[in-house]
Structures are given as C-alpha cells and as structure tokens.
Amino acid sequence: MSEPRTPAVEVAIAKLMPAVVPIPLTWDAAAGTEEFPAGAVDTASVLVVSFAPNRFCNTPVVVATPRWRNGDWIGGVKDSFAVTTFNVSNTGFSALLRRVNPSGKPITAGVLLDWIAVDAKGAR
C-alpha cells in the first residue's frame, strides 16, 4: 500500500504540470538489408544504399549493423566487423565495412548490412 500524497506533494506536482509540454513528433522510417560486395584481403568494403525516391524530406538518422547471411559463420571463419555510416542524406547513405581482426583473408560474400533510417520531425 502506498503512502497518501500530502498537500505539499500535491502543490509541487501542480507547479510542474504547466512546465511539462509534450512535443508532437511525426516519425518517418525506412529499413532494409543489403549485401556488402566481397573485398580484397583485410580491406574495407563500401556499400551505397539509396532510399526510395522522395522517402525523406529531412536527413534521417541511420543505425546499421553487419551480420552473416545465414546467421552463422561462413565456412568456419569467425570474424568480427565494424560498420561506419557516412554521406547520410535524405536520398541515401554509404556504409564502410572493416574487418576488426585482420586475418590475411578476404572479406567474403555473405556479409549483410541491416539498417534503419529514422526521421523524427520536431525532435531536433
């Protein structure tokens, strides 16, 4: 059982209420999966992603993560990759894939990029 509110707490809450003004947000989002091109030994691989025409009016925030196509290691090769997005605009973005632990092996086919782009109008 909770404690009853005292008049002082009620007054404090009433003073805060006018200060809390919700910001109306309009969300626009797109998501997808693309395959990185196979790269040379221990080099980076670049992928360019284009959004559907007129998908975003503003530049969205892009969140991306790499994964293997089949959800497991390919051919027993246990790799880790880092992804950086750049050139983000309302028409698309680029992603750079880099092997985290250089192994002398090429970046094989089958590394996918899962991404989501979100434009929260009014949140900035």
Q: What would the two tokens of residue 53 be?
A: 């025409």
Structural domain boundaries enclosing 73:
25-121
Residue 18 belongs to some domain of the structure: no
Residue 31 belongs to some domain of the structure: yes
Residue 97 belongs to some domain of the structure: yes
Residues 6+ apart with CB under 8 A from 64: 83, 85, 95, 113, 114, 115, 116
Tens-digit pLDDT profile for residues 63-99: 999 887 766 665 566 677 889 999 999 999 999 988 7
Tell which wins on pLDDT, 7 or 2: 7
Residue 10 belongs to some domain of the structure: no
Region for 93 from its dihedrals, namely left if φ exceeds 0, alpha if ψ lies in -120 to 50, beta otherwise: beta
CATH number (domain holding residue 105): 2.60.40.2080
| Domain tally, the chain | 1
- String of b and e for 16-48 (b: at least 16 CB within 10 Å)? eeeeeeeeeeeeeebeeeeebeebeeeeebebe
Tens-digit pLDDT profile for residues 11-65: 776 666 665 566 666 677 888 888 887 765 667 788 899 998 888 888 999 999 9
Residue 84 belongs to some domain of the structure: yes
Residue 115 belongs to some domain of the structure: yes
